[in-house]
Amino acid sequence: MTTSPLIEETNLSTAWQIALERIVNGSGKEITPLLLTLTGFDEIPHIRETLDMHLKKSNLPSIQTVSETIFPESLYQYYGKDRAKLYETYCKNLLRIKKIDPTNNKGTYFERLIAYESSNKKINQLEIIISSINSKKVKRRSKLQAAIFDPSKDHSNKMFQGFPCLQHVTFYISENGGLVLNSFYAIQYLYRRGYGNWLGLINLGKFIANEVGLEFERFNCYIGVEQLDHLKKTEAKKLILALKKD
């Protein structure tokens, strides 16, 4: 059976469930590649709650915990959507964030977005993107991108390296005048990271859209290898049945 690489949906929860079903119904445990495009960002509470409970039983981070490594939505809301305060507070708490979760010892995605180290300087890539859109003077769309992967830190010979799977994000303004976010993964772990990653990127898109006064129109994600991790197919089938119970 050929597993279709394209998922086009209007609901985050539905899109994640479709990805899981396609892997379970396919011949292996991967979709290579997976192309996700969302034009609606609602969630189905039952699907999210069921997956969260399953992750908890597996001693894995919650959907929110994963999503906030990409964009700390709760902190943004706490400071009344004051992005300067968001940047300041997040950077002040980075050491604590890294100590809480050892998997963050090389950094977090949001850190790379607002404090990317280059030539002994820290670059706030998100602020460059926001300022470029707001100025309306920069017509070069290639400026509206941010790198995550850092060859000087991330090329290693380790057997397993969980960070960074997200490589790159780009933004552009569509012909309709809405904001579009593109994201690129070399590999993504669907069970323990996929839903949270996509939620974090959606919140990142909403953040940029809010700061530049545009509607967040579409979220696109290209994944080189979407992998069913931590779960045997028999367990994944049981999870799918639980997701369908309402």
For residue 139, give its domain range: 6-244
Domain assignment present for residue 121? The answer is yes
Domain assignment present for residue 1? The answer is no
- Count of structural domains within the chain: 1
153 pLDDT exceeds 80? no
Average pLDDT over residues 159-167: 71
Domain assignment present for residue 66? The answer is yes
167 pLDDT exceeds 80? yes
Domain assignment present for residue 83? The answer is yes
Cα 217 from chain centroid? Answer: 16
Domain assignment present for residue 95? The answer is yes
1 pLDDT exceeds 50? no
Predicted pLDDT of residue 97: 77
The CATH number of the domain where 75 resides is what? Answer: 3.30.572.10
Domain assignment present for residue 196? The answer is yes
Please state, in angstroms and rounded to a whole number, the distance separating the CA atoms of residues 204 and 199.
9
Q: What is the pTM of this model?
A: 0.93
Q: What percent of the chain has pLDDT over 90?
A: 74
Q: What percent of the chain has pLDDT over 70?
A: 91
Average pLDDT over residues 50-79: 95
Report residue 157's pLDDT band, with 50, 70 and 90 as the boundaries: low
Contact 218, 87 (CB under 8 A): no
Distances (CA, A) of 103 to 94, 172, 176, 246: 13, 31, 40, 34
Q: What angle do CA 80, 69, 244 make, to 5 degrees?
A: 95
Domain assignment present for residue 240? The answer is yes
Predicted pLDDT of residue 103: 67
* CB within 8 Å of 85: residues ≥ 6 apart: 79
Predicted pLDDT of residue 154: 66
Average pLDDT over residues 183-208: 97
Domain assignment present for residue 45? The answer is yes
Q: Across-strand partners of 83?
A: none
Average pLDDT over residues 188-196: 96
